[in-house]
Chains A and B, each alone.
Chain A
Amino acid sequence: MNPRLLHAGAWWMWALGLAAAASRTTNPLILGLIIAITGLVVSSRAEKAPWARAYSSALILGAIVMGVRLLFGLFFGLALGDQQLFALPQAPLPSWAQGIRIGGSITSEQLLLALFDGLRLATIIVCIGAANALSSPLRLLKSVPGAIYELGVAIVVAMSLVPTLIADITRVREARRLRGRTTSGARGFLGLVTPVLEGSLRRSLDLAAAMDSRGYGRIEAVPLRTRRGTQGLLVVGLMSLVVGMYLFLAGTGSSWIGPVALVIGLIAGVAGLITTGRRTSRSRYRPDPWLWTEWSVAVGGWSAAATIWWQMSHNAAALEPSLTPLQWPGLPALPLIGLAIATITALATPPLPSDETSSRVPPELIAAEASA
């Protein structure tokens, strides 16, 4: 296969699929596998670019989130299980606060519950980090519909801040060393904050000015009635999407409201986006192609989610390891197949082009266009 970069949306679909899978299980084996898969794919399919650091940042953030969840699990929350590990001094609470504890005895059940729950959150964060690392935020922007393009730019600028922040930290640390100042320890770290934030603020302003000078945000005049109609469509669409999504993911409520709300939301949302899109007169130069590889990656990611949902409706117990009584979690076969599909489709993508030949468009396609 000729080296090329995949459509940014494909990687986002893939990673969101894995994140959706992770959100429905606390089985540490499955979660660990998901993290391992993202790591493998990022190491072989992420460009050597500033945003590729998003993955390692996500790993660190995930670890922090897990730590915080663990602390909360240890000190607060419900009393659970009887396998006491050690005891903390317990704050006496009035009778109406029964069931809540602060401190007290710590059981291995509580510890594991907090740990697994933290791991789930961390996995979701790592999946989002992987999506960030695998696709340039700028390329993603190319595929954003015209209506929310400006919003998209704001988000992309904010997202691209993180990797450049890391580059800035390196630069400022070097400068500090040149000044003869220590760069390690808490004081060293505090000394970095102001110059780094100042620098990124200045850069954002520069970028904003450059974009505005090049016509970003030009709009056409739209009659008031059309505008009102569009706003209505968007609000209705968004609300039913939110409701539908909640019912769908939470798995509660009656069976038909969720899907119906989702469909209504999608239709209203798409219609709203199309009418709003008329306001901007943007055109596209060589849009990123969406070929069968993109389809396979996106479907691969969501097949992991689909198998988890299937598992949930048939044997949900395997997804949530039993804590009372304590048992070693099993690895159900079905989600394993889904994860395997996600891994294979992601690794079967074309290899990365080098910086010198960086290209989104496969050469065959360019040749075809030239002859047409």
Chain B
Amino acid sequence: MIHLNDVSITYSGESSAVLSNVTLTVPEGELCLVVGPSGSGKTTLLRLLNGLVPHFSGGTLTGSVVINGRDTATHPPRELADVVGFVGQDPTAGFVTDTVEDELAYAMESLGIETDVMRRRVEETLDLLGLTALRRRALRSLSGGEAQRVAIGAALTSHPQILVLDEPTSALDPSAADEVLASLQRLVHDLGMTVVLAEHRLERVVQYADRVILVPGSGAPLIIGEPATVMKHSPVAPPVVELGRQAGWDEIALSVRDARRSADELRQRFTDQPSSLSLFTVPEPLSEQGDCVLALKDVQVAYGRREVLHGLSLQLHAGEVVAVMGRNGAGKSTMLSTMVGLRTPFKGTVRVLGVDPATLKPQDLVARIGLVPQQAGDLLYAESVDLECRQTDRDAGLAPGTTATMLATIAPWIKASSHPSDLSEGSRLALALAVVLAPDPAVLLLDEPTRGLDYQAKQHLMKILANAAQRGRTIVLATHDVELAAELSTRTVIVADVAIAMNALSDIP
């Protein structure tokens, strides 16, 4: 089905190859998982499969990529559209039409499929992915999970033999991610489709994979094999694999269920000798003791006529780490932007250290409260990391070099001369964090900070945040990442149906 023969790819202007001498065969009906640190070339590998590399990316390709008998050297992506369905990292970026049904039909229209066949396939796909209720919805009104499923559906209707997905669950809440993965499972099992997907969050998918392709990065050879074998030595591994390694199991457990079954002996050991497995020292919950730094009182926010937050009251104290959780579209991001004064509530008050953030001058704002938005790159726009740091010092009225020092403690590996948009996802987040942390705000808000981060980058982020909390800073994390919330937060706020459904200390079950 997929044959890569001695493929090397070098992007123009770069001295070394992203992938070199890749030889790979994926047989029909396999679910193939591509893993690797961020920036290692996973996306490049996926885009090779339908010819987007090199037809769209430029660069030099040697060797041959043959998909179902067609060589991508002579077949551009459009000529492979009936064989390979491709779903990119950001589903909304690839939407061509404006309603769900039209989007599902788009690829079929391009392929010139008969009208009645199109009708039938649209219905099938709506059922397969549970999209029936959404069929007439405008694409722009979909939540992240729904958009992702529509994007997958849109790739499926042309009945490709191969489905390629780039991080299909990274933007989704756990239940939406499960839905998407379950749909993929069905495609592999029921339709015999070959699925190749890249993921950062392996804990959800690795147990379903038939084969794992590890892309170590910097042109090193790929490691291909059975999930359990590859995972044993993979630099990126989910916590459950990490546990298996530390416990010294021969047979690495890939799912929590398997791990529980092999953990009898381990459990025994810990009952005898209790110790904490936690990697960091997170401050004790002191919610009611510290000073109140951020107070929301009966806040109501609406976009147009749609109410996004209703009657939100919340008090945050110094040194707290608060995880804000909830489904896609529950109002988490809105809550954060309201806290920082970007959205003005039509009712209720927001007070940061006793002041309404919307009335503050930008310079005074950053000294009190900082927000790292979901797209951390939005905060960055200088030509180089060094300029970015100096600009921050000037904007926030800091002593020259403050931001650079902050960056050096957070991410010493970032070169001052590199361009922010060339950095890997993790490094870009680190830079954005340094920019926001430099004025030392009392409150730090992070929107979905672990999206697209590999395990190492995430560990590093957690350390930085734990440190800040220990210095008495208040941290608010809007996240789907249960692990992050569990490791770090002292309090959890769950937002559901435009209001707070739960507000409790994290330790309480």
Contact = CB atoms under 8 A, between A and B. Distances in A.
A50 B106 CA distance: 21
Contacts of A181: 362, 395
Contact of B98 (A139, A175, A183, A208): A139
A198 interface: yes
B371 A178 contact: yes
Interface stretch (B114-122, B224-232, B472-480): B114-122
A182 B82 CA distance: 50
Interface residues of A, number: 51
Nearest to B138: A358
B356 to A, nearest CB: 14
A276 to B, nearest CB: 15
B13 interface: no
A244 B280 CA distance: 79
A357 interface: yes
Majority secondary structure, B binding face: helix
A267 B52 CA distance: 40
A205 B365 contact: no
B373 A212 contact: no
B342 A214 contact: no
A142 B90 CA distance: 24
B362 A212 contact: no
Contact of A180 (B55, B96, B109, B363): B363
A282 B35 CA distance: 37
Majority secondary structure, A binding face: helix
A182 B371 CA distance: 16
B509 to A, nearest CB: 36
Nearest to B341: A177
Given A174-B342, A284-B115, A180 B81 contact: no
Contact of B109 (A206, A212, A283, A360): A283
A137 to B, nearest CB: 9
Given A213-B50, A285-B108, A180 B154 contact: no
A175 B28 CA distance: 46
Interface stretch (B72-80, B311-319, B455-463): B72-80
A281 interface: yes
A175 B304 contact: no
Q: Which range contains the number of B residues in contact with the other chain?
A: 35 or more
B110 interface: yes
Contacts of A215: 78, 81-82, 107, 110-111, 158
A138 B99 CA distance: 10
A172 B84 CA distance: 36
Interface string A123-163: 00000000000001011001000000000000000000000
A214 B106 contact: yes
10 tightest CB-CB pairs across the interface, nearest first? A210-B94, A215-B81, A281-B112, A215-B110, A285-B105, A180-B366, A206-B93, A355-B141, A214-B107, A213-B86
Given A49-B138, A179-B362, A358-B138, 18 more contacts: A175-B379, A179-B392, A180-B396, A207-B93, A212-B76, A214-B81, A214-B86, A214-B155, A215-B110, A280-B112, A281-B112, A283-B109, A285-B109, A285-B118, A356-B141, A357-B136, A358-B136, A359-B99
Interface of A: 48-50, 136, 138-139, 142, 171-172, 174-183, 191, 194-195, 198, 203, 205-218, 280-286, 355-360
24 contacts: A50-B140, A177-B342, A177-B362, A178-B365, A178-B373, A178-B379, A179-B379, A181-B362, A206-B90, A210-B88, A212-B76, A212-B77, A213-B80, A214-B96, A215-B110, A218-B81, A218-B110, A218-B111, A280-B112, A282-B109, A285-B102, A285-B105, A355-B141, A356-B137
